[in-house]
């Protein structure tokens, strides 16, 4: 079942945070999957405001993806970004934030990450953005719908989209480790947030177009508990 909520960023943040809080409250080992990028910010801001409603004593955070090739502690690594955005403000010990171990060979790092997710009992609720090319996490177009955590070469479109976070576009890594589409689909609840006119076409394709690897986010149509949060601009092409 997919629920769509259209509204302003503050409202989307409140609805998204409430869905996250509800899913975590129902779990004996609460595990929140966290995304990077600009879109999830309203949800994170509301979660920080409502931190008293979060099971902080046992909460685990799992990143969707991580760049390969950045030195440890690089300010643009997703680990650093999520520590700054969530772990530190929530007062979580950073070992409660799990990210792929990019110091290992990618295949080993990927297998170990899948094992960590399984050992935690799976992800209760996964926050997601969507790339302008329809990627989910870093599952680029052409990603198999049954893919697992693995190393992926970033599309040039994605590198261009993400260059805004780097001092020099040439610094944007070419490779990453990403949770696979099948990995993401195993989460109990998915909360996708999309904002801005640039996401209108791809959001419509993801939610109402054919399900296939050309638009990896279309896999969401097969999940039983999806909350889609969109502002007016991103919802403009939805039926």
From the candidates 66, 83, 114, 140, give the one annotated as an active-site residue: 140
Site stretch for ligand GLP (CB under 6 A), options 29-37, 84-92, 118-126, 228-236: 29-37
Q: Which of 26, 38, 75, 108 is in the footprint of ligand GLP by CB under 6 A?
A: 38
Taking CB under 6 A as the rule, does residue 35 contact ligand GLP? Answer: yes
Q: How far apart are CA 62 and CA 97, in angstroms?
A: 6
Nearer Cβ to ligand GLP (91/170):
170
Tokens of 26: 């129902």
Show the DSSP H helices in the chain as ranges: 9-25, 41-49, 78-82, 88-90, 106-119, 156-162, 181-185, 200-208
Nearer Cβ to ligand GLP (62/138):
138
Q: Which of 16, 33, 63, 65 is in the footprint of ligand GLP by CB under 6 A?
A: 65
The distance in angstroms from the start CA to the end CA of the chain is 16
Q: How far is the CB of 92 from ligand GLP (least distance, A)?
A: 20
Nearer Cβ to ligand GLP (23/39):
39
Contact 102, 138 (CB under 8 A): no
Contact 117, 75 (CB under 8 A): no
Give the number of residues written for the chain: 239
Q: How far apart are CA 181 and CA 145, in angstroms?
A: 6
Longest pairwise C-alpha distance within the chain: 45
* 65 a catalytic residue: yes
x-or-dash string of contact with ligand GLP, 145-174, rule CB under 6 A: -------------x---x------------
* 133 a catalytic residue: yes
Q: Which residues are tagged catalytic?
A: 65, 133, 135, 140
Residues lying near ligand GLP in the complex (CB under 6 A): 35-39, 64-65, 129-131, 137-138, 158, 162
């Amino acid at each position: 079942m997919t629920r769509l909520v259209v509204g302003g960023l503050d409202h989307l943040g409140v609805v998204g945070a409430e869905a996250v809080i509800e899913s975590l409250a129902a779990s004996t080992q609460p595990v929140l999957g966290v995304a990077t990028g600009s879109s999830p910010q309203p949800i994170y801001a509301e979660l920080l405001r409502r931190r008293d409603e979060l099971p902080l004593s046992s909460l685990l955070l799992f990143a969707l993806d991580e760049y390969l090739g950045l030195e440890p502690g690089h300010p643009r690594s997703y680990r650093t970004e999520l520590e700054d955005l969530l772990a530190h403000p929530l007062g979580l010990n950073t070992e409660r934030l799990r990210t792929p171990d990019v110091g290992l060979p990618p295949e080993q790092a990927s297998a170990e990450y899948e094992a960590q997710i399984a050992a935690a009992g799976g992800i209760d609720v996964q926050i997601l953005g969507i790339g302008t090319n329809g990627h989910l996490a870093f599952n680029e177009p052409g990603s198999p719908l049954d893919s697992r955590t693995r190393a992926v070469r970033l599309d040039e479109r994605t590198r261009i989209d993400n260059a805004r976070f780097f001092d020099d576009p040439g610094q944007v890594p070419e490779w990453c480790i990403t949770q696979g589409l099948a990995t993401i689909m195993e989460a109990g609840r998915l909360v996708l947030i999309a904002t801005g006119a640039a996401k209108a076409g791809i959001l419509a394709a993801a939610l109402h177009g054919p399900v296939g690897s050309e638009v990896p986010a279309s896999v969401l149509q097969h999940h039983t508990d999806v909350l889609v949060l969109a502002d007016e601009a991103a919802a403009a092409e939805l039926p």
